[in-house]
Amino acid sequence: MKDKKYDVRRRYEATATQYDKRYLEIQMSKYNEIFSEIDVDNSDIILDVGGGTGLLLDFMENQTSNIFCCDISFKMLLEGKNKHKTNHFICADSDHLPFKKNIFNKIVCVSVIQNIPDPQITLREIHSSLRSEGIFILTALTKLFSDSDIKETMHKARFSILKLWQLPVEDIAVIANKNEC
Ligand SMILES: C[S@@+](CC[C@H](N)C(=O)[O-])C[C@H]1O[C@@H](n2cnc3c(N)ncnc32)[C@H](O)[C@@H]1O
DSSP characters over 13-47: HHHHHHHHHHHHHHHHHHHHHHTTTS---TT--EE
Our answer on whether the CB atom of 77 is closer than 6 Å to any ligand 1 atom is no
For the stretch 98-143, pLDDT in tens is: 999 999 999 999 999 999 999 999 999 999 999 999 999 999 999 9
- The stretch 147-155 carries a mean pLDDT of 96
Collapsed DSSP state (helix, strand, coil) of residue 61: coil
Query: Considering only 88-97, 139-148, 172-181, which range has the smallest mean pLDDT?
Result: 172-181
The distance of Cα 25 from the centroid of its chain, to the nearest Å, equals 17
Nearest-atom number in ligand 1 for the CA of 23 is: 9
136, 104 Cβ separation under 8 angstroms: no
User: What is the reported pLDDT for 62?
Assistant: 78
Mutate to test the pocket of ligand 1, among 111, 115, 171 (most ligand atoms within 8 A of CB): 115
- In the chain, where the domains are located: 2-13+44-57+66-178
The yes-or-no verdict on residue 165 having pLDDT over 90 is yes
Span 31-59, average pLDDT? 95
pLDDT at 181: 58
- Centre of ligand 1 to C-alpha 92, Å, is 11
CATH topology for 2-13+44-57+66-178 is: Rossmann fold (3.40.50)
The tens digit of pLDDT for each residue in 68-77 reads: 999 999 999 9
